[in-house]
Each structure stands twice: as structure tokens, then as C-alpha cells.
Amino acid sequence: MNSDWSNIEIELIIADYFSMLKTELVGLPYNKTEHRRKLIPLLKNRSEGSIEFKHQNISAVLANLGQPFIRGYLPRKNYQRALEEKVFDYLIANSNIEEDFKVFADKEVVSPLSIQFEKLLVNPPKIEKVREPEISYGRSPIRINYLEMEQNNRKLGIRGEELVLSYEKWELNCIGKEKLANQIRWISLEEGDGAGFDILSKYGNGKDKYIEVKTTKLSKETPFYFTQNELLFSKSHSSDYHLFRLFNFEKDTRMFIKKGSFDLICNSIPVTYKGYF
């Protein structure tokens, strides 16, 4: 059994991770396998699998901080505090990476050129029953949540909602429900963002179907953010409320769907509080 990772090993793998992340954020190609193999001689008998697992732990630290992470390394949350501290140290010493995070969040997006709706859906991620790591008070090295900022990128949101609107019409047309397809409404565009959902669609029997669309350029495990209004509406319409989560947008767009209220379909933690007198 390998010993715990030393501070030097952790610093080396963090530097390697951010080298890949910076390259990815500016849209340049790189080879993950090549990176892992170059790390092996610098570490203490670590396998490629253990290196990949540690990269996934780093993704989890960044996701927990509300920051972009490498698409191919899904966040694995059971990491040690020592890793989190070293990631913090790296971000403090390399504060210029925040410029890349901002470019990622603000990036202009276009609708995917061609989408095969029959291949768009994938299985949703499983809900992990793990304790959400606590971020030390006052220790977050980046004050802006760039994952939330990306989600609030209006152009990205519109492109995602456009795609879902087309998908719902396609699905109804496939079952011969053209009249129902023509009744679908884009609520967030027509009435604004206060309704608690984005699209009013239809089931095949004509019943209303409420859809909230969340879009990201990152992987399907990326955290998403919802308002209290969305939470309350999802609870009051739980049997007909759907989260449509678009991910890998632009590159290899895919989507999963989860039905039910937000408090049941995902783990959640409060990130904002209201003080009053």
C-alpha cells in the first residue's frame, strides 16, 4: 500500500493539473496521459490510476470553491484537507489564473452546429452521499464564483434554452403531437426569469410540463445554482418539474434530465443568506 502523498508530491501534481487546466481554458489541445506519465518519475511509486484519482480530487476542490475544473477529471469529493490547503496556496501564488477563469465564464458561445436529438440524452450522475467539504472561513483565495458566473452568462443560457425548446418540439412531433409542440412556450424569454422555470412544455397527453434549463461548458458533474424561487416552484410542482442539464456545451453537447423538486433530485447547500430585522 502506498504511503500518504508528501507535500512535495501534492505540489507537483497541483502544478501539473493547473498546467492542463490553463491550456484547456484557452482552447488548446493537450494529452492527459502524457502529463501523467511525465509525473510518474517525480513521485513515489504512484500508478497512473492514483495520479488520475488525485487529479479528480483537485477538480473537487475547485468545484467546491465555485471554480472551473478540467472536463475529463470528474470531481471526487473525499479528499484530504492538506490537498485543499495546497490548492489554496497555488491560487494565492498564481492569482493571474483568475483572468483565465473570467474568460471562461464570459466566453461567447454559439449553438452547436448539428445535434442528433436521439443521441443527446445520457444517464444523470448518481447522487453521492458524502459530506460536503467545508471551506475554511476567510480562506477562499478567489472571491468570485466563476461557475455561477458562467451559469449566469445570458448568451450561454439562451443557447441552452433554445436547444431544449427544439428538443421538446422534436420529441412531440416524433409521436404525432404537432399541435402540442406548437403550444410550447419559452417563459423566461416571454416573461423574464421570475417564474421559477424556463420552458412550459407539454406531455403527450396535453398536461403541462415545467422545465428548468441549466447549461455549462464543463462536465455533467459540474455544480449548478438555483434560486429560492426555483426551489419553491419545484416543490409545489414536483410531479411535473424537470431539470434539463446541458453540459459539454459547444464541444460535445449532451444532456440529462431529472424529474422532481430540487431538494430531492440533488444534494444542495445554502450559499446565500438573507438578514432582516
Query: What averages of pLDDT result for each successive group of 10 residues across the chain (277 residues)?
Result: 84 97 92 94 93 96 94 88 94 95 90 86 84 55 93 95 97 98 97 94 98 96 94 98 95 95 91 80
C-alpha cell at 71: 472536463
Cα–Cα dist 228/196, whole Å: 9
Query: In the prediction, which pLDDT does 130 show?
Result: 57
- Helix, strand and coil in the chain, % to nearest 5: 45, 10, 45
SS3 call for 22: helix
C-alpha cell at 186: 419559452
| Those residues with Cβ within 8 angstroms of residue 122's Cβ, 6 or more apart along the chain or in another chain | 220, 254, 255, 256
Cα–Cα dist 80/57, whole Å: 9
Query: In the prediction, which pLDDT does 103 show?
Result: 93
Query: In the prediction, which pLDDT does 260 show?
Result: 97
* Sign of the CA dihedral running 270, 129, 11, 100: negative
Query: In the prediction, which pLDDT does 163 show?
Result: 96
| Those residues with Cβ within 8 angstroms of residue 6's Cβ, 6 or more apart along the chain or in another chain | 44
Entry pTM: 0.90
Query: In the prediction, which pLDDT does 132 show?
Result: 52
Query: In the prediction, which pLDDT does 129 show?
Result: 67
The residue type of 165 is L
Per DSSP, the residues of 211-276 read: EEEEE-SS-TT------HHHHHHHHHTGGGEEEEEEESTTTS-EEEEEES-HHHHS----------
Query: In the prediction, which pLDDT does 124 show?
Result: 95
Cα–Cα dist 48/37, whole Å: 7
